[in-house]
Structure formats: C-alpha cells, structure tokens
Amino acid sequence: MDLRDLWAESLAGMLARPVRSALTTLGTVLGITTLVVTLGIAATAGNQIVGRFDELLATSVTVDVPPSSRGPLVSWDAPGELRRLRGVVSATALAQNEESSNLVVTANNLLDPTRVFGQTLAVVAAGPNLPETTHGRLLAGRFYDAGHVARHDRVVVLGEQAAAMLGITRLDHAPAVFINDRAYTVIGIIGDLRRERVLASAVLVPPTLGPDFGLKDVTRVLVATQLGAAELIARQAPLALSPSNVGELQVIAPAGPRRARDGAQDDVNGMFLILGLVSLVVGAVGIANVTLVTVMERVAEIGLRRALGAGRRHIAGQFLLESSLIGLTGGVIGASLGMAAVVGVAAVRQWTPVLDIRLALAAPVAGALVGLLAGLYPALRAARMEPVDALR
Amino acid sequence: MPEPVIELTGVCREFPSDPPVRALSDVDLRVEPGDYLAIVGPSGSGKSTLLNILGLLDRPSSGSYRLDGVETTELRDGARTRLRGARIGFVFQSFHLLPHRTVVENVMLAEVYGPHPRRGRRARAEQALEQVGMGHRTGFAPGRLSGGERQRVAIARALMARPALLLCDEPTGNLDSRNTEAILDLFDGLRAQGLTILVITHEDGVSARAGRRVRIGDGLLTEQG
C-alpha cells in the first residue's frame, strides 16, 4: 500500500464526520493550550522578573560599615580602589547618622508667616560619583565634582523631594539653603534615585563638608556592578574596602538572577502543568472513546477493505493515523491558541512574550502522540476483526 | 488444458460447538475459466460458509482449495489477503459502498491495497464505471443512487482490480425485478468478455441465467443440469 494512499484514506476517514472529529479534538486542544499557556506565561513572566532585577537590583551591592571606636573602617578613598575590581561600574561612599538625619533646613532666612519656615531633612555626605552609582538623573544644575570636594566648597545637591519641600525649583539665581545657620549654595537637584529612594528627601553634601554635620566616617558604600558580577563583587568588596576588618562589614547583595527565574516559574507552573496534563489525559480518553465507537460503526467498511485485500496492518495503520491526525489537529490548534494567549497576556501586561520555538514544535507532536496512544486499542480491535465477522 | 479457477477437493468446514456443526461436508467443486456458475440453496444450507471459503475470508477445516492453481489452505494470513485482493472481486448483497466518498472514489478503493500504480487510477476507475454503464455518475455520492446503480458501482469496484473471479453474494437480494434484470444483463455481458462469475443466490430467476447451477443443501453440493 502506498503511504500516500494510507494518508488519503485516513484523512478521508477523519473528514467523513467533521463535526465529530472537531469535537473529538477539543480535549487535546484544551490540554495543549493549557500546557503552552502555562509554559509560555511562566517563561514570559520569569523573564520579565529577571529583566526588572537585571536593571537595578541585580547590579546593586551595598556594604554597610558599622561605626567603630578604632577609627574609620573604610576611608573615603576606598570606593575609588573598588573600581579596580573587574565588574565594578561605579562605587560611592556615603555617610549618614542619626544626628544628621534630622536637621532643620531653610531656603532663606526671611521670616515668612505664610510659609512653613524650615524643613527637617536628612543631610548625607556622599562621594561625587553618586549619580553614576545610583542611576540618578540631575533634574537641574550639576552634581559636585572632585574639585568642589578638594576645595571644601560649601555646595549642596538637593534630592528631588527635598527641593520641592524647600520650594527650590530654579537654580539660575544660585539659591542657598541654611543648615545650622550656615549658608550652602544649591548647585543641583537630583531625581530618579530608584536605587536609594531615601536620598530623594535628603540634602547631599561633599564628604569634606561632612564634619559640619558630624559625618566624619563612611557608613555605607554603594556599588554598581556589571550584570552578573554582583555575586562576585559582594564577596570581594569587603576585602577591597577594608582588608583588616572584613568580618565587620555587612554586604547586601541581590538574590542570584537564576533563583528569581526559577522561583517565578515554580509558582506558576506546578498547578497549571498538572491541569494541562489532566486535560491531555481526558483528551486522550475522548479520542480513544470516539475512535472505538468509529471502529464499531465502520465494521462493514473494515470487512470491505479486508475483502479488497487490506491486511491487518493496513487497517490498524489507517485507524492509528486517523486518531493521530485528530490528536495532531488538536495539538496544532492548541499550540496556536496557547501562543496567541501568551502573546495577548504579554501585550496587556506590556511584557515581552517569550516563546520557545521548541515548545511551538513539540506541542503538535505531543498532540499527535496523544492521538496515537489513544488510537492503539481501537486500531488493534479493528485489525483483529475477522473479515468473515466484519462482513456479516 | 488451462488451470481451473476454483478447485475444491474434499472441503469440510466444522464450527466448534457441542456437538460440532458441520456446515460443509466433503465438497468438491471445479470452476473453469469463463464459467458462469450459480450456487443455489435455502438459507442455512451452507451457502455463506461456502462463499466465505471461496472468497478466502475463511479457511476450511480440511480439504484443499486451489484458486488459480494456488493451494490456499496452507497460505498464511497475509498471503491469503494479497491473493484475495488480487484474484477475487466481491459483490455483496448490501453493496458496501462508503457513503462519504464519491462513486469514482469508491471504485478506486479497489486498487488502494494492491501493487497498483497510483498514476491513472482515476482513469481506470472511470473505465470500469463505463463498463457497467455508470460513467455518467462518477462524481455522485452513493446515497443519491438507486439500488441498481449502487450495485453496478459495486460491480465496477470488483472489476477494477481485474480479478480472475467475480464472487457475488446475493447480488440482487436488495433489488427490484427491473434492476435485477439489469444486473443479470450486465453479468451476461461480463461473462461474454471471458470473466469467471460465481453467484450465490436463493432466487431461481437469478440462477436460471447462469450456465451452471449447483444446489447446496445440508452442506452437500449437487450439480444440476
């Protein structure tokens, strides 16, 4: 028997009752759709979470420096040294303590009864490359540089919120703020401090002005790393910052990106995978059932085919191919629906859909396999039939 | 002298029960090429059993059956199936046409399982339909044909594989007298072309047209003049 004939006969058998065949595929469609959606959404969502981590958290390492009676554990120059480590993009030292966190800051020394006179803000001493390390954006003016630091210039940069609270929006008249009755020129306003949100309501001063506010020693070092380097840098940073006090420094490093992805997938997957598999099994039972009914209905046809010279394997082959085609159809429809759903969900959430090409190819194959397995028993029944009985 | 198409020697067929039922006992039959033979008998006489054995659908319990010179009783299942497909054209009382396929597709089915080339199959099927006078109905669904037309399509299907033997089981059992006459005319024409035809029937009108008549009763065959 020509394989094309087998194909044509099976296709004709399947299309002879299109409605029944369509209904029979439903179970497989549901199962494959569920599986594709589950795996697709999990991959998309997993990728999404990792993507968000990548941007900021996965590249952020923070080293907390506890106060020490033996003098500073980390010097202001140490972050510069840190940049010699491979994988460090930028590092900045900060100093902040309780005393400096509640200082009254005023925008001018006029008494205006209609306005709140002074704001209680935090003053933080920070190295000049803070914007780089925190991915901050200067909304106005500029950040102080090494020159300001070296000259002990009395300049400050305001966090976005701090500037709003003080009513400072423009810098073209070189406004000043007054802290502890001393004036400081505001040279910049910094915003978008997503990594260190608290700094948005802080007054940033160069390290050399720190002693004015009791900020002598570094209390924290922020490190921005290259993607994937965070874990390594987290291990190396304490040694580079303060070789003799490694044990006292506390490192806060992001969770590994791999764990984030696995966690996200595990949450979504388990349940729906089981649901999908159950639907597939139900689909298989449906195909088996309908194929068996079809075999019983087509006993006369089987007898005729045997009379026309069809061997048992031809009969078995035809019914197996029919059930596999039904499964394959279900798989193709299910895979298409599933992928459309994944793309739809991703579009609504403004995610990037992640579709594994292997999944797209494997889903119809899985459907066909389901059909093949489901068809085994009915096909065997059909093949075992004696032509004498079938023609009776 | 050419080999006979059918040569049954001492064929018995018993069905296991208590006591065993002997449907055919010691049957001898010889059918020469070009014979037109009718086997007549009442129901329960063993007609169907004989037909099944002749059609290689069943095996005799004992005895020998040579089809076109090939001893069939010792063949395995697959070989019997191939021989059946190649040498025997079946015509059934209930036509056995596939309802969802067109007339020509039903006829083409005869070549699906043999070593026939796909090329030209439709043309050969149309030719077989012409042979039975159904060339104008090739694209019809069997459901739209009359009983006589259906049987002619079934005969075209049986002729398609160019069999050595046309084996007909009550071919006119479902037809009225006019259609029966048409089918019998068709048989006469086929026989004139040299085809060997064996008809199993209980209708005397059908058997009267055959060249030879063999009566079967209680599993025994008796040749009638």
**Residue A260 predicted with pLDDT over 80:** no
Alpha carbon distances (Å) from B138 to A6, A8, B142: 22, 19, 10
Contacts B98 to A, Cβ<8 Å: 16, 301, 304
pLDDT in tens, chain B (225 residues): 678 999 999 999 999 988 888 899 999 999 999 999 999 988 888 888 999 999 999 999 999 999 999 999 999 999 999 999 999 999 999 999 999 999 999 999 999 998 888 899 999 999 999 999 999 999 999 999 999 999 999 999 999 988 989 999 999 988 899 999 999 999 999 999 989 999 999 888 889 999 899 999 888 899 886
Which of B54, B167, B172, B152 minimizes the C-alpha distance to B106? B152
Residue A278 lies in a domain: yes
User: Quick one: A30 and A142 in the same domain?
Assistant: no
- Structural domain ending residue among the three candidates A198, A225, A248: A248
* Nearest chain A alpha carbon to B117: A2
Q: Do B82 and A310 touch (CB under 8 A)?
A: no
Q: Do B85 and A5 touch (CB under 8 A)?
A: no
User: Quick one: A89 and A230 in the same domain?
Assistant: yes
Which of B189, B178, B77 minimizes the C-alpha distance to B131? B189
Residue A61 lies in a domain: no
- Model confidence over A74-124: pLDDT tens digits? 888 888 888 888 889 899 999 988 888 888 888 875 666 666 667 888 899
Q: Do A314 and B92 touch (CB under 8 A)?
A: no
**Residue A261 predicted with pLDDT over 60:** no
Domains held by chain A: number: 2
User: Quick one: A95 and A30 in the same domain?
Assistant: no
Beta partners for residue B164, in sequence order: none
| Angstrom distance (rounded) from CA A217 to CA B39 | 118
* Structural domain span for residue B109: 6-224
Paired tokens of A85: 């480590």
Domains held by chain B: number: 1
Alpha carbon distances (Å) from A383 to A17, A269, A376: 21, 41, 10
- CB-nearest to A12 from B81, B100, B110 is B100
- Model confidence over B191-207: pLDDT tens digits? 999 899 999 998 888 89
Smallest Cα distance from B155 to chain A, Å: 12
Q: What is the mean pLDDT of chain A?
A: 85
| Angstrom distance (rounded) from CA A372 to CA B17 | 39
User: Quick one: A86 and A210 in the same domain?
Assistant: yes
Burial class for B71, CB neighbours closer than 10 Å (0-12, 13-18, 19+) = exposed
User: Quick one: A41 and A77 in the same domain?
Assistant: no
**Residue A188 predicted with pLDDT over 80:** yes
Whole-number percent of chain A with pLDDT over 70: 91
Chain B interface, best mutation among A15, A21, A308, by max B CB count within 10 A: A308
User: Quick one: A227 and A314 in the same domain?
Assistant: no
Residue A59 lies in a domain: no
- CB-nearest to B113 from A15, A303, A309 is A309
| Angstrom distance (rounded) from CA B75 to CA A351 | 68
User: Quick one: A271 and A328 in the same domain?
Assistant: yes
Paired tokens of A231: 């874990």
| Angstrom distance (rounded) from CA B131 to CA B192 | 13
Residues A213 and A206: beta-carbon distance below 8 Å: no
Smallest Cα distance from B225 to chain A, Å: 31
| Angstrom distance (rounded) from CA B165 to CA B54 | 10
Residue A58 lies in a domain: no
**Residue A236 predicted with pLDDT over 70:** yes
User: Quick one: A224 and A99 in the same domain?
Assistant: yes
User: Quick one: A18 and A120 in the same domain?
Assistant: no
The three-state (H, E, C) secondary structure of A322-374, written as one string: HHHHHHHHHHHHHHHHHHHHHHHHHHHHCCCCCCCHHHHHHHHHHHHHHHHHH
**Residue A258 predicted with pLDDT over 60:** no
Q: Do A12 and B101 touch (CB under 8 A)?
A: yes
Residue B12 lies in a domain: yes
| Angstrom distance (rounded) from CA B222 to CA A76 | 123
Per residue in A144-154, is it b (16+ CB within 10 Å) or e — as a string?
beeebbeeebb
Tell me whether B52 touches chain A (CB under 8 Å). yes
Residue B102: which CATH number?
A: 3.40.50.300
Tell me whether B62 touches chain A (CB under 8 Å). no
Using left for φ > 0, alpha for ψ between -120 and 50, and beta otherwise, residue B56 falls in: left
Which of A379, A386, A387, A381 minimizes the C-alpha distance to A10? A379
| Angstrom distance (rounded) from CA A133 to CA A233 | 14
Which of B148, B167, B151, B132 minimizes the C-alpha distance to B36? B167
Smallest Cα distance from A316 to chain B, Å: 13
Question: Which pLDDT score, from 0 to 100, does residue A264 have?
Answer: 55
Q: Where is pLDDT greater, at B81 or A350?
A: B81
Within 10 angstroms of residue B92's Cβ, the number of other Cβ atoms is: 22
Q: pLDDT grade, residue A244 (50/70/90)?
A: confident
User: Quick one: A137 and A38 in the same domain?
Assistant: no
Pairing of strands A176-179, A155-159: unpaired
Averaged over A215-237, what is the pLDDT? 86
* Structural domain span for residue A71: 66-248
What is the Cα B84 distance to its own chain's centre? 11
User: Quick one: A220 and A293 in the same domain?
Assistant: no
Residue B1 lies in a domain: no
User: Quick one: A80 and A169 in the same domain?
Assistant: yes
Tell me whether B70 touches chain A (CB under 8 Å). no
Q: pLDDT grade, residue A48 (50/70/90)?
A: low
Smallest Cα distance from B87 to chain A, Å: 10
- Of A159-173, A242-256, A277-291, A349-363, the range with the lowest mean pLDDT is A242-256
Question: Which pLDDT score, from 0 to 100, does residue A276 have?
Answer: 82
Q: Do B113 and A16 touch (CB under 8 A)?
A: no
What is the Cα A66 distance to its own chain's centre? 33
Paired tokens of A128: 């000049």
Chain A interface, best mutation among B75, B113, B162, by max A CB count within 10 A: B113
- Structural domain ending residue among the three candidates A207, A227, A248: A248
- Of A23-37, A45-59, A335-349, B172-186, the range with the lowest mean pLDDT is A45-59
Q: Do B81 and A311 touch (CB under 8 A)?
A: yes
Instruction: Give A109's contacts (C-beta < 8 A, 6+ positions apart).
Output: A178
ipTM of the complex: 0.94
Contacts A2 to B, Cβ<8 Å: 112, 118
Smallest Cα distance from A374 to chain B, Å: 24
| Angstrom distance (rounded) from CA B8 to CA B71 | 10
